[in-house]
Amino acid sequence: MKELAKESWNYRLTETESGDLIFNVVSGSVGMYEISIRLTVDEISRYKKQGSLYLKTLADEIRLNESRFSSRKVAG
């Protein structure tokens, strides 16, 4: 995997060999864990336009409403 973007203790964006973009978000308070999702075409487009600003926003959205993204989780 190729790392495309990273902010320590917040998120990491990687690209798989097949071209999928995987977004890993650090979550939790007492016990830290990582949530990994495959980005959609729309999210990739927004990332390409807005860069790290969009990734910060998306990371916050995932933390606030993890269940909304549960169907897109991938093994971390």
To the nearest 10°, report the CA torsion of 60, 65, 37, 51: -30
Domain that holds residue 32: 2-72
Q: What is the pLDDT of residues 32-65, one digit of tens each?
A: 999 999 999 999 999 999 999 999 999 999 999 9
Distance of CA 33 to the CA centre of its chain: 13
What value does the mean pLDDT take over residues 4-16? Answer: 96
Amino acid at 42: D
Q: Looking at the predicted structure, is the pLDDT value of residue 68 above 80?
A: yes
Q: What is the pLDDT of residues 24-38, one digit of tens each?
A: 999 987 889 999 999
Distance of CA 10 to the CA centre of its chain: 9
Domain count across the chain: 1
